[in-house]
Structure 1
Amino acid sequence: MLARNASQRTTVSFIALDFLAPRIFCRGNATTRRTLKAEPVRPELNSSSFFDRSVVAPLASSSRSTLSPGDVLDQLNKHIDLLHGTQCQGLSNGEAEIFNQAVLQLRAMAKPLLAPDLHDTWRILNELDKRHLLRFFGPPHYEMCSRIVASYCKHKLEDALFDVTEMEALREISVAAAAEGQSEGLKQYMLSLIKLKNPDAVLLLYERYEALLGEKVIRLEPEEPVDGDKGESANSSSDHAQDTTIHGLQSDILLAAVTAHALRDSKESFLNAFSMSFRTSARFIPSVIDHFTRLLDHDEALAKRVKDYGRRIKVARLVARPAALAKHIDQLAHSWALKPLEELYQDISKGLSTPDPWLSVKSSDKDANGSIYVSESAWPAFITGFMFCRRTDLASNVWNDVLKWGIRPSAAMFTACIKGYGELNAPVEAINTWNAMLEQGLKPDIAAYQALVGALYHSNLPEEASKRFQLAKSVVRNLSPTPADSDVLVLYNTTLHGMLFHHEETEARAILDEMQAEGPKPDIVTFNTFLRYYARKGQLKTLSEILQMIEPTGLVGDVYTFSIVLSALFKVRDDAPEIVLNLMRKQGVEPNAATLTTIIDYQMRLQTEKGLHAALSLLGRMERDEIPGARPNDVTYTSILTGIHRSNWLPPKLVAEYRKIIWDKMKARKIKPKRTTFNILLQACFQNPEPQGTQDALSYYKIMQKERIALANDSWYILLHNLVKREEWVLANEVRLDLLSRNFTPAGALSDLVERVRKRATEKLKAGPAAYI
């Protein structure tokens, strides 16, 4: 049996009724409609025989003269049984009848409007176990058992206690069914225990459920350390530093277990809830939490606490994985999602500042007092994110909070500020930050030098930037630890980019010669920097020289290399796409749909007519199958559509014409855009600041309605967020009403946005016509 086999692989105690978990080869055969028939004894099957050609050979080789239609059907039934793994060896007619009668009885008790007889259900299952007939149980049977438990719990009086026999039966049946993916019964039983304020019983159920899924535990790859986190534990406690993840666990069952911890309402209970959640792959989606907490209408305070636990666990999961946290912050910043970014920081700040903090800036278990450790890499990540969003005030708050929490600002924090001031064209502040870092006795690393040089070039101070670069060259050899060549190369590439941007070609070529002779050896980014410079200047001869320099190095061009060359050649050569394709093949890069789509996207992002024509020319070759294995797909066409909608570089008339052309091409190839495709198109349309951008976005919205494409939380949010941002309140309210008419339940940030639009519409209605004047 599955549960019994699993119990041999783990030390966790399993449920007593392990016979409810079927053998792995018996899952697919059982349905509620199919009855079992006794069959003669036949050799035991093993997994290797399922695909043995000798098993199916008689059916294929038999002639019509030797097989009647009935024989053919009988053969087919036998092979279907082989495929599904039905093992009916030695099954008598009486046993088959017993099984089928039991299934009929269970099905009758699973009817939703009736209160099932739990004791009778328990008796039937035990009887089947004694006769070894539960091996024929499959998903439909487990679904019936789950429904029986759910119905029994719903019909039970809320304040009525379960007796010992009831608890045993409900526990064994619900857990086994949930382990097979039928979790409604277990959820309802856990909710009943929650209403009875019995968290211990709920957590025992969860432990047994988790144990049955134990064979699905997989080892996770170690996470890349961020900003010197090598050797650091992501958390303060060994309980948190799990290297395994439970997969297949249902989110509602996990939420029920979290609710049990929330019933206890203490720091320890939250940390236990987090530790439990951290070792699973389940995620707390806002809509799932909202739906679950509505089931806790008997206790509003508990529902509110569960939502709080869910939010904090989500934050804690990020904090416990420093690389994931830094990546998330970067994504929010580059999406200009300032509000979620600020809320994330506030949640972390609160976790550190409460009277009994559940987060800690201390890495040792003794100092952290069991709290979850916030890595030092979090603070420069937040500073970088806030400054990218041009909110120096929020970055300043981070700095002040770090000092308040007793943390000494690191070189990485100073570097983040320098980089941010460079983006803001504030060279004085960048230099002052550099000087402050030196005054603190911190030695700048290679990243700090790169940030300062980049900031000075970006702020149009090339002479000062060049001086700082020369200083960096002189000290880089004495840095301890010695920086990797890849890190030093970033400094050189930043300098080359700045020099060429300020037309210091002679100085840049001298540095390139130095790199080739002494190191660090140039990479493809280095050469792309020069290629882009000469392409913009139209110096094709010099561009060709740079291309010839690449080959001896053993480097291979990337999509940006070929995109730059295509842009340059298309200005003077009609056969530019063919030349680029030959160049790719020469460098061992076989053109395919992915690489060519990236090149097309690059051309569209140039927002020039030449780039558009180059993209369409390359698309034409792909459509005509002139490039083997590179037929255009939905991403290819989406790249062109987003390119023509993005910004206002094309007249509206041309946008409409090209849009129709591309749309017709997609229809001809029977390419149907998905919801994610429309999301990308909606975002691109809203990037056009003109009113036409709004009209184009709404036209795609209408297409989604016409094609009956289901709009999810992300689609509605893109529409409402951008309409509100443009102060198109009337249109936003129409979209809101459409959302509600579809019985769609908004969650998270979308729910807040819907409420904001509703309030605005109500205010307009109360004000009357004067509100529109």
Structure 2
Amino acid sequence: MAAHLRSGDRATTLNLYARFLQAFEEKPLSPDLIASEEDHDVDELVIDLPAHSHSRSLQPPSILLAVVVAHAIGDSFHDALHAYLRFPAPIPPRIATEFLSTFSDRLLISKVEEYVRRLRIARIVSEPRFITARAAVFAATRDTQGLKKFYQSIIDGISGPQPYIAPCQASVTPQTPVALNEIHWATILTAFLQCNCRDLAETLWDDMVRFQVRPTVIMWTALLVGYERTGEAKDAEEAWRTMISMGIEPTTSTFRAIISVLFTARRPDDALQYFTMFQTRLTSGLPSAPEDTLTLCNTVLHGLLKNRLEKDAHALFQRLREEGPKPDVVSFNSLLNYHGRRGEFRAVSRILDWMREDGLVGDVYTFSTVLSALLKVGRTDATDAILSLMRKQDIKPNVAFFTSIINHQMEEGTEQGLRATMDLLQKMEENPEVQPNEVTYTGILTSLHRHDWRDLTLAQQCRQHVLEGMKRRGVQLNRAAYHVLIKACLDNLAQEGTEDALEYYRKMAQKRISIGADTWYILLRGLIAREAWTAADGVVEEISRSRAVYGGLADLVRRVRKRRGWKTKVEPRSYF
């Protein structure tokens, strides 16, 4: 195909593709030959393909790329779009670069690169889970620029030259075969608000109006959820009033969002007014599944406790027990957490009795909360007491259960939690049926690196105990575990965070664990965020000697080099 394209023969290429597609439909390709969409489009990481996909021969993505080139020669983006959406494999950046390197026509190469960029956006929009995952990553990392760039690329697809994305399902045409559904708009809106980008959230809302997309209750609920996460109660109430004035009826989820934001703003009286309004509408026929109603009631219960309205919370709880919807484990955990943090173990015991009366069995959070309460009142036998409680509830904890409790304890970042963790770990190590595994050890190490411990000596001793335990049991960290640990080290603002991250990076090389673009992306992004430019320079030099880079990693490399500018090249051995 490539040879025909280099000679300008697009017709033969398209004929060959038609024959390939026919064969493909008769006998689908092995999944091993199809690159993972999540790897390339969600995490913004350039994940290495399986070894057998590195060949320069025409693997499926290369075949599709050849078809895109053929349509680019014919200046037919929409034909390329339909071919791309029909084909099950994305085009990894490396394959695109290698394939196009065989062409000499720079204008054609630029056109194909632009086609591929737009096609990747179309593919993301065509799969709701990809947009949701991408927006969640941007929001979690507060990557405002990345989120803005991602959104703008979608808007360009709606209103730019040769539009190919419809602003809603009703606007889909052969020219715009993929649609930005309402849930997409809602997801991105929430992400903007999570990143405190009010201006971008307002721009998105204006864009919806511009494209004649009428916000329904889904969008209004998303807006309120965004305000809930940013604590903007006044804006939330204004949005509610506007929604009602437009004749849009709130759902249970909408009520839950406005109630939550008001409780968070320390306005419990106003929150309870909305709760009363919800109950009135529920009586009048507001459709609400029992589980949705209970979720809202749990929000109210949590809000009352958060505002120290203990009597009101217990009154609501008992009413739910008597009238329904019956409290679930989440309801009980809210009460356990409130009284446990206050060291009121009698209340904790009483709540556990109620749970037993109602036939409910505690979950990981339940036992971790009770463990914290026991530690708070100075019980030296706290872990033994928890194990006894599990036995009373006929729970036989496995490795995963113990590991989850340990993770909850470590997340608190307290010395008590750390000591309880090491006690539980020792009991696991002594019990042949619940031996700690790689996940257990990785979780402890991650928290040890992420938190800023007051007693550094204790933290270091715990880390040493974990490493020695791993060595005794022959537990080896895998590639994913090293990535988690590197990120945890870089999340810690202490100076040793950089040093610890680089130490894990060096260990990967020493143990001959594959270091790929995703490893460098995590490491380099963390170093840039910490402004650890010396170490970042060293990593960039090492990357440059190892391989070509693409996508998000290439952007990070450019940022480091741009800052370094005129400086003399760094010798990486100085840092590694």
Query: Matches of 1:652 and 1:518 in 2, distance apart?
Result: 51
Partner in structure 2 of residue 498 of structure 1: 303
Query: Matches of 1:249 and 1:510 in 2, distance apart?
Result: 65
Partner in structure 1 of residue 15 of structure 2: 204
Instruction: Provide the secondary structure at the position in 1 that maps to 2:397.
Output: coil
For residue 64 of structure 2, the aligned residue among 250, 254, 261 is: 254
1:704 is displaced (CA, Å) by 2.3
Matches within 5 A, 1:50-89: none
Alpha carbons of 1:289 and 1:530: their partners in 2 closer, same or farther (altered >3 Å)? farther
For residue 353 of structure 2, the aligned residue among 548, 564, 569 is: 548
For residue 272 of structure 1, the aligned residue among 62, 82, 92 is: 82
Matching of residue 427 in structure 1 with residue 230 in structure 2: no
For residue 289 of structure 1, the aligned residue among 91, 96, 120 is: 96
Alpha carbons of 1:267 and 1:553: their partners in 2 closer, same or farther (altered >3 Å)? farther
* Per-residue deviation, residues 408-431 of structure 1 (Å, max 9, x unmatched): 222222222222223223221111
Query: Matches of 2:392 and 2:21 in 1, distance apart?
Result: 55
AA paired with 1:753? Answer: L
Partner in structure 1 of residue 536 of structure 2: 732
1:335 is displaced (CA, Å) by 2.9
Alpha carbons of 1:522 and 1:318: their partners in 2 closer, same or farther (altered >3 Å)? farther
1:209 is displaced (CA, Å) by 3.2
Query: Matches of 2:228 and 2:168 in 1, distance apart?
Result: 32
For residue 753 of structure 1, the aligned residue among 538, 556, 573 is: 556
Query: Matches of 1:217 and 1:749 in 2, distance apart?
Result: 29
1:587 is displaced (CA, Å) by 3.8
Does the CA-based 8 Å contact 1:274-1:316 persist in structure 2? no
AA paired with 2:483? Answer: N
Instruction: Provide the secondary structure at the position in 2 that maps to 1:357.
Output: coil
Does the CA-based 8 Å contact 1:563-1:602 persist in structure 2? yes
1:251 is displaced (CA, Å) by 2.5
Matching of residue 440 in structure 1 with residue 246 in structure 2: yes
1:217 is displaced (CA, Å) by 7.6
Does the CA-based 8 Å contact 2:452-2:494 persist in structure 1? yes
Partner in structure 2 of residue 319 of structure 1: 125
336-345 vs 684-693, which deviates more?
336-345
Query: Matches of 2:133 and 2:564 in 1, distance apart?
Result: 37
Matches within 5 A, 1:352-391: 352-364=158-170, 370-391=176-197
Instruction: Provide the secondary structure at the position in 1 that maps to 2:169.
Output: coil
Alpha carbons of 1:436 and 1:617: their partners in 2 closer, same or farther (altered >3 Å)? same
Instruction: Provide the secondary structure at the position in 2 that maps to 1:689.
Output: coil
Alpha carbons of 1:554 and 1:197: their partners in 2 closer, same or farther (altered >3 Å)? farther
Instruction: Provide the secondary structure at the position in 2 that maps to 1:351.
Output: helix
Alpha carbons of 1:431 and 1:590: their partners in 2 closer, same or farther (altered >3 Å)? same
Matches within 5 A, 1:54-133: none
AA paired with 1:294? Answer: S
* Structure with bigger gyration radius: 1
AA paired with 1:490? Answer: T
Does the CA-based 8 Å contact 2:85-2:123 persist in structure 1? no
RMSD of Structure 2 on Structure 1 (CA): 2.5
Query: Matches of 2:303 and 2:116 in 1, distance apart?
Result: 46
Query: Matches of 1:249 and 1:505 in 2, distance apart?
Result: 64
* Per-residue deviation, residues 298-348 of structure 1 (Å, max 9, x unmatched): 222332333333332322222222344224322331232333322221111
Instruction: Provide the secondary structure at the position in 2 that maps to 1:377.
Output: helix
AA paired with 1:752? Answer: D
Instruction: Provide the secondary structure at the position in 2 that maps to 1:409.
Output: coil
TM-score, scaled relative to structure 1? 0.66
Matches within 5 A, 1:534-613: 534-571=339-376, 572-613=378-419
For residue 565 of structure 2, the aligned residue among 762, 767, 772 is: 762
Alpha carbons of 1:589 and 1:334: their partners in 2 closer, same or farther (altered >3 Å)? farther
Matching of residue 673 in structure 1 with residue 473 in structure 2: no
* Per-residue deviation, residues 578-598 of structure 1 (Å, max 9, x unmatched): 333343344454311212111
Instruction: Provide the secondary structure at the position in 2 that maps to 1:316.
Output: helix
1:461 is displaced (CA, Å) by 1.4
AA paired with 1:670? Answer: G
Matches within 5 A, 1:168-183: none
AA paired with 2:96? Answer: I
Query: Matches of 1:744 and 1:479 in 2, distance apart?
Result: 64
Matching of residue 529 in structure 1 with residue 334 in structure 2: yes
Instruction: Provide the secondary structure at the position in 2 that maps to 1:333.
Output: helix
- Determine what percentage of the aligned residue pairs are the same residue: 36
Matching of residue 690 in structure 1 with residue 494 in structure 2: yes
* Per-residue deviation, residues 262-320 of structure 1 (Å, max 9, x unmatched): 3333243133223223xx1x23333333333323x322233233333333232222222
1:705 is displaced (CA, Å) by 2.9
Instruction: Provide the secondary structure at the position in 1 that maps to 2:565.
Output: helix
Does the CA-based 8 Å contact 1:261-1:272 persist in structure 2? no
AA paired with 2:226? Answer: G
Query: Matches of 1:401 and 1:192 in 2, distance apart?
Result: 44
AA paired with 2:435? Answer: R
388-397 vs 283-292, which deviates more?
283-292
Partner in structure 2 of residue 148 of structure 1: none
1:636 is displaced (CA, Å) by 0.6
Does the CA-based 8 Å contact 2:136-2:191 persist in structure 1? yes
1:368 is displaced (CA, Å) by 6.7
Query: Matches of 1:736 and 1:409 in 2, distance apart?
Result: 46
Query: Matches of 1:192 and 1:469 in 2, distance apart?
Result: 69
Partner in structure 1 of residue 265 of structure 2: 459
Alpha carbons of 1:283 and 1:562: their partners in 2 closer, same or farther (altered >3 Å)? farther
Query: Matches of 1:360 and 1:729 in 2, distance apart?
Result: 43
Alpha carbons of 1:264 and 1:487: their partners in 2 closer, same or farther (altered >3 Å)? farther
TM-score, scaled relative to structure 2? 0.88
Does the CA-based 8 Å contact 1:262-1:269 persist in structure 2? no
1:349 is displaced (CA, Å) by 0.4
Alpha carbons of 1:445 and 1:625: their partners in 2 closer, same or farther (altered >3 Å)? same
1:497 is displaced (CA, Å) by 0.9
Which structure carries more helix by proportion? 2
Q: Where does the alignment leave 5 or more consecutive residues of structure 1 unmatched?
A: 1-189, 220-247, 767-773
Partner in structure 2 of residue 487 of structure 1: 292
Query: Matches of 2:10 and 2:282 in 1, distance apart?
Result: 59
Does the CA-based 8 Å contact 1:352-1:360 persist in structure 2? yes
Partner in structure 1 of residue 37 of structure 2: none
1:496 is displaced (CA, Å) by 0.9
Q: Where does the alignment leave 5 or more consecutive residues of structure 2 unmatched?
A: 32-57, 570-576
Instruction: Provide the secondary structure at the position in 2 that maps to 1:390.
Output: coil
Matching of residue 645 in structure 1 with residue 441 in structure 2: no
Query: Matches of 2:215 and 2:168 in 1, distance apart?
Result: 14
AA paired with 2:437? Answer: N
Instruction: Provide the secondary structure at the position in 2 that maps to 1:496.
Output: helix
Query: Matches of 2:521 and 2:534 in 1, distance apart?
Result: 16
For residue 720 of structure 1, the aligned residue among 524, 544, 557 is: 524
Query: Matches of 2:518 and 2:438 in 1, distance apart?
Result: 20
Does the CA-based 8 Å contact 2:122-2:164 persist in structure 1? no
1:367 is displaced (CA, Å) by 5.8
Query: Matches of 1:526 and 1:428 in 2, distance apart?
Result: 28
Does the CA-based 8 Å contact 1:686-1:697 persist in structure 2? yes
Alpha carbons of 1:638 and 1:524: their partners in 2 closer, same or farther (altered >3 Å)? same
Does the CA-based 8 Å contact 1:625-1:631 persist in structure 2? yes
1:616 is displaced (CA, Å) by 1.0
Query: Matches of 2:30 and 2:517 in 1, distance apart?
Result: 31
Query: Matches of 1:291 and 1:433 in 2, distance apart?
Result: 51
* Per-residue deviation, residues 195-238 of structure 1 (Å, max 9, x unmatched): 1233333233334334444344899xxxxxxxxxxxxxxxxxxx
Does the CA-based 8 Å contact 1:585-1:591 persist in structure 2? no
Query: Matches of 1:586 and 1:197 in 2, distance apart?
Result: 77
493-502 vs 282-291, which deviates more?
282-291
Query: Matches of 1:207 and 1:535 in 2, distance apart?
Result: 67
1:614 is displaced (CA, Å) by 1.1
